[in-house]
Amino acid sequence: MKHVLLIGAGFSRNWGGWLASEVNGHLPTSSRLRSDPHVVEVLRRTANSGGFEAALAELQDAYAKNPTPENLAHLKNLQDAVLTMFSDMEAGFAHKREWNFCNDLQFKIAKLLSPFDAIFSLNQDLLFERFYFGADLALHFPRKWGDWERPGIRALADDNQGRPYDIGKIRWTQSPPFQRNPSNQPYFKLHGSWNWWSADGEQMLVMGGNKLATIQGNPLLRWYHQQFQAYLSEQDSRLMVIGYGFADQHINDTIARAATVNPTLSLFQVHPRGRAVIPRPLSDIADAGTSTRLVSDIFAGDEAERRKLMRFFE
């Protein structure tokens, strides 16, 4: 039996990260974006129908169909504003001393994370990199992992100068052949990361329209998605989903395909709206449990809800 975790923006929200619905409120702080009436209008028009990702998709499509300097400028203005948002969010995470909400050992965040056979993230922030340490995995007894890893990447450049040391200043890139160390807990960032760069100098971020094509065009991310389906397709696999609202069709399709191959798949949903956000046919997947409470509330000392979550592993 494999225990798999999938996290979305609602997971990072527990530590102050922004949900997709909140990003539009940040973007107008960019003076460069405010000076571009076309981008402002696109954001206004898509605010209630996909938000900034719908706006980004529209600008990406416009440039693909008509690659003029003007269309490129519109696209770059929005992309730069989004990257500034990520930078501000990372500054918020970097300012925190730790990510635990309680000093009790049983309520350490690592006690929730360490039993998983694999962790898949739709987030591009560095929350895990900042706060999830190999030593934390010893909290799982008997110890299951030597460390945790992000398979298939290597350091490209380290711009840390002086102190304090900041993990956010390291750039990473894909490093084939892609494989994982069976002694380490794998952490797969399905949509890339804020500090990952391709060989041609582009950030490896999957945003906007046609995400599946972007993923298929990147060997590392394509392999990550193959790993996601493979884990879920194993007999009796269990999937816990924290903070994902099922808005990415390619992710939903992967889960649906795995459920077809593996009808024993079950799903534990952690989301303020519970299973109401799960679309069909995913809502037909066996129910392994539901929590409508925030991780920050549960692991601040809610013993009853913590027990409910941890029963996922029994």
Q: Which two tokens stand for residue 38?
A: 């076309």
Write the secondary structure of 64-101 as one string of H (helix), E (strand) and C (coil): HHCCCHHHHHHHHHHHHHHHHHHHHHHHHHHCCCCCCC
Domains of the chain: 3-17+99-313 (3.40.50.1220), 20-94 (no CATH)
Strand partners, 289: 268
pLDDT of residue 296: 97
Mean pLDDT of 78-93: 92
* Number of C-beta neighbours around residue 148 at 10 A: 22
Contact (CB, 8 A) for 299 and 306: yes
**Residue 28: partners with Cβ closer than 8 Å, 6 or more residues away:** 34, 40, 43
Buried b (16+ CB within 10 A) or exposed e, 280-292: eebeebeeebbbe
Q: How far apart are CA 190 and CA 244, in angstroms?
A: 13
Buried b (16+ CB within 10 A) or exposed e, 40-59: bebbeebeeebbbbbbbbbb
- Residue-wise pLDDT for 227-252, tens only, equals 999 999 999 999 999 999 999 999 99
Query: Cα 62 vs. chain centroid, distance in angstroms?
Result: 27
- Residue-wise pLDDT for 142-192, tens only, equals 788 999 999 999 988 777 776 677 788 888 999 999 999 999 999 999 999
- Residue-wise pLDDT for 245-294, tens only, equals 999 999 999 999 999 999 999 999 999 999 999 999 999 999 999 999 99
When pLDDT is cut at 50, 70 and 90, the band that residue 134 belongs to is confident
Backbone angles phi, psi at 92, to 5 degrees: -65, -45
Contact (CB, 8 A) for 71 and 59: yes
